[in-house]
Amino acid sequence: MKSYLIKDTTREEREQIVADSIGNIDGSCDGCASGLIDMYQDYIDGIKELRDINMEFRAHYVSGDEGPVKESCGFIM
């Protein structure tokens, strides 16, 4: 299995990893994936690892702290 760590990937590879994980973001989507893509932008930019982003999201969900606000089909951060 290939490493997903920032140190082992290029920006283009990280963009592809996020796109593959989220699914079809270009097809008939009506904006429902935009919030998820924004959530992973720090990973794409090489700032935070996937694990850290997922743990932060999960901590907000479990604790009830404010997180992304769902508006229609997309998230606003």
What's residue 68's pLDDT? 56
Q: How much is the pLDDT for 21?
A: 85
Q: Which residues contact 28 (CB under 8 A, 6 or more apart)?
A: none
What is the model's pLDDT at position 37?
75
Q: Which amino acid is at 51?
A: R
Going residue by residue through the chain, which has 77 residues, state the pLDDT in tens, using 9 for 90 and above: 789 999 999 999 999 999 888 875 555 555 555 667 788 999 999 999 999 998 888 776 555 555 555 555 554 55
What is the per-residue pLDDT for 41?
Answer: 93
What is the residue extent of each domain of the chain?
6-76
For residues 75 and 67, what is the distance between their CA atoms, to the nearest angstrom?
A: 10
How far apart CA 15 and CA 66 sit, in angstroms, is 27
Given this model, what pLDDT does residue 10 score?
A: 97
pLDDT at 22: 80
Beta bridge partners of 69: 76
Which two structure tokens, joined as six digits, stand for 4? 């997903």
